[in-house]
Amino acid sequence: MLSSRDLESHRKPPTRVRMLIRDFIEDSLYNPHYGYFSKRATIFTAPPHCGGVEGGFDFNKYRDSAEFEVDVAKRYREFGNGEEDGPGRQLWHTPTELFKPWYGQAIAQCLVSEYLLKYFPYEDFKVYELGAGNGTLALNILDFLKTHYPEVYDRTQYTIIEISEKLARAQRHRLHQQGHGQVVEVANRSVFQWERKEHAPCYVVAAEVVDNFAHDVVRYDLKTLEAYQGVVAVDEVGEFVPFYTKISDPLIASYLALRRRLSLPVPLPRFLRSPSLRRVYASLPFAPNLSPPDYIPTRLLSLLKILRTHFPRHRLLLSDFSSLPDAVPGLNAPVVQTRVGTTMVPCGSVFVQQGWFDIMFPTDFTALREMYEFLLSQAGPDADKQDELSYARVSPLASSTSPLSLGAGFFSSRARRPPLDGVTSASGLPVGERKSSVFSHAEYLETYADLGKTRLVNGENPMVGFYENVKVLF
């Protein structure tokens, strides 16, 4: 039984091992020797000869979105014509790259507006970016500050936390080359291994990052509704054999307990929530004895705990997909896809050859905000001890009566922590009170972006109209 940390030294996918499904996904995506993002993925960026600012597209010259999409497809083909073994060059794009520099400037305007209102000139402007890709977002933010807010730029400390050694080198070189070396630090490590504590107010930016955070899989016994954790075995020839065991992993147990205490929606299809319908379903010929897979964001929970512990006075800006097409079967299930030639092909299972497939999850922003707010309200010297939740064999339909030795009061949403020594949160509210909101992609951009820069001749605005399945937590 191995974890993704144990597999970091493996130079090829392992055989004759077992691991939790989250460790299988994390190893597939991030193993330093064969992981998808470590070795295969390439981030699309508009070539310098596109004619726009900093190599970006000159949006004001396109007649309509159809013409713009044709040009994007052309550039995509040009950029993706690399020679690769396997199915093809693994190329993907982000709003930051597609709409540079204007998308990054919108994020910069959001952050600096908050900073000027709350902290300037008494605190430095500290920004932590998770998974910075090509470094484009950091470059666009810093260029914007240097031009429009030089007094803030002089107080800026920008830290990138990047797991990929290759990308970290590229980010460091690019930002130093563009004159930002004095304000940028690139830390080449996983955010899950972060140990340094930031006591000052700061901003944490996670743009299109958490969709590739590993999830665990849980299924429920249709008779007792007891939860079982997903494990995958890899046999001697590399075949994958998934199976389910009683909950033993502390992180899975912690997530399930937290979800029950926050009274989040029952993670079962509607037709399985009624005991009588479950009995009928279970009696059908060849019916499974377990519910459909429930993909739970355990790594996202780990991130929220790290933010609470190591960045106690942070403000989080998180953007990502709230829904995805072509997902594999299951609740909150991912899209598993690989690029064959110039076409992205979705797959029907997460159990695919490690390193060759993108595994991308949607984010339930309602549940995320509830968990985020609750965990921040528990900040304090004993918070980490409180997170070691004992798992009780109860159904996901159980009442709010706490089976935990910690006592029912621990999970009360009314038990907000009062301010410590007069310290308020980044929003100006007392620590422990609600400090974040969820916005649609369009709402966010209409508030902070200079939309004239990406408006087409016929009035369409692809920066607002594209990515309708993206939401923003801030």
Instruction: Report if residue 233 sits inside a domain.
Output: no
Instruction: Report if residue 230 sits inside a domain.
Output: no
Q: How far apart are CA 171 and CA 185, in angstroms?
A: 10
pLDDT tens across 206-250, in order?
A: 999 999 999 999 999 888 888 999 999 999 999 999 999 999 999
Which tokens hold the place of 370? 């509830």
Q: What is the pLDDT of residue 386?
A: 52
- pLDDT-derived band at 168, boundaries 50, 70, 90: very high
Q: What is the pLDDT of residue 398?
A: 46
Instruction: Report if residue 38 sits inside a domain.
Output: yes
CA distances from 433 to 77, 101, 272, 379 (A): 48, 34, 35, 12
Q: What is the pLDDT of residue 429?
A: 43
State the alpha helices, DSSP H only, in 209-297. 250-261, 275-283
pLDDT at 425 over 90: no
- pLDDT-derived band at 268, boundaries 50, 70, 90: confident
Q: What is the pLDDT of residue 172?
A: 95
- Report helix angle 441-448 to 102-118, nearest 10: 70
pLDDT tens across 292-334, in order?
A: 899 999 999 999 999 999 999 999 999 999 999 999 999 999 9
> 240 — phi, psi (to 5°)?
-100, 130
Helix, strand counts (H, E) of the chain: 14, 17
Instruction: Report if residue 39 sits inside a domain.
Output: yes
Instruction: Report if residue 263 sits inside a domain.
Output: no
- pLDDT-derived band at 431, boundaries 50, 70, 90: very low
Residue pair 455/59 in contact by the 8 Å Cβ criterion: yes
| CATH number for 142 | 3.40.50.150
pTM, 2 dp? 0.84
- Give burial (CB, 10 Å; 0-12/13-18/19+) of 433: middle
Q: Which is it for the CA torsion 388, 393, 395, 399, positive or negative? A: negative
> Structural domain of residue 155, as residue ranges?
6-214+299-375+419-473
Residue with tokens 């800006």: 317
Q: What is the mean pLDDT of residues 27-40?
A: 86
Got the DSSP string for 291-314? PPPEEE-HHHHHHHHHHHHH-TTE
Q: What is the mean pLDDT of residues 240-265?
A: 93
pLDDT tens across 347-392, in order?
A: 999 999 998 899 999 999 999 999 999 998 876 545 555 554 444 4
Q: How far apart are CA 417 and CA 410, in angstroms?
A: 11
Q: What is the pLDDT of residue 224?
A: 80
Q: What is the pLDDT of residue 394?
A: 44
Q: State the CB neighbour count (10 A cutoff) for residue 288.
A: 11
Q: What is the pLDDT of residue 432?
A: 40
The count of structural domains within the chain is 1
Comparing 50 with 171, the larger pLDDT belongs to 171
Instruction: Report if residue 453 sits inside a domain.
Output: yes
Q: What percent of the chain has pLDDT over 90?
A: 58
Instruction: Report if residue 222 sits inside a domain.
Output: no
Q: What is the pLDDT of residue 81?
A: 55
pLDDT tens across 189-206, in order?
A: 999 999 999 999 999 999
pLDDT at 79 over 70: no
Q: What is the mean pLDDT of residues 260-283?
A: 77
Q: How far apart are CA 229 and CA 253, in angstroms?
A: 9
Residue with tokens 């926050």: 262
pLDDT at 441 over 90: yes
Comparing 158 with 284, the larger pLDDT belongs to 158
Instruction: Report if residue 232 sits inside a domain.
Output: no
Residue pair 470/442 in contact by the 8 Å Cβ criterion: no
pLDDT tens across 98-156, in order?
A: 898 999 999 999 999 999 999 999 999 999 999 998 899 999 999 999 999 999 999 99
Q: What is the pLDDT of residue 355?
A: 86
Q: How far apart are CA 75 and CA 70, in angstroms?
A: 9
- pLDDT-derived band at 426, boundaries 50, 70, 90: very low
Q: What is the pLDDT of residue 400?
A: 36
The span from the first CA to the last CA of the chain, in angstroms, equals 39
pLDDT at 37 over 60: yes
In a 3-state reduction of DSSP, which class is residue 240?
A: strand
Contacts 24+ apart (CB under 8 A), 24-30: 24/232, 24/350, 24/351, 24/354, 25/214, 25/215, 25/350, 25/359, 26/214, 26/299, 27/354, 28/352, 28/354, 28/355, 28/357, 28/359, 29/212, 29/214, 29/358, 29/359, 30/4, 30/163, 30/190
Lowest mean pLDDT among 338-347, 370-379, 457-466: 338-347
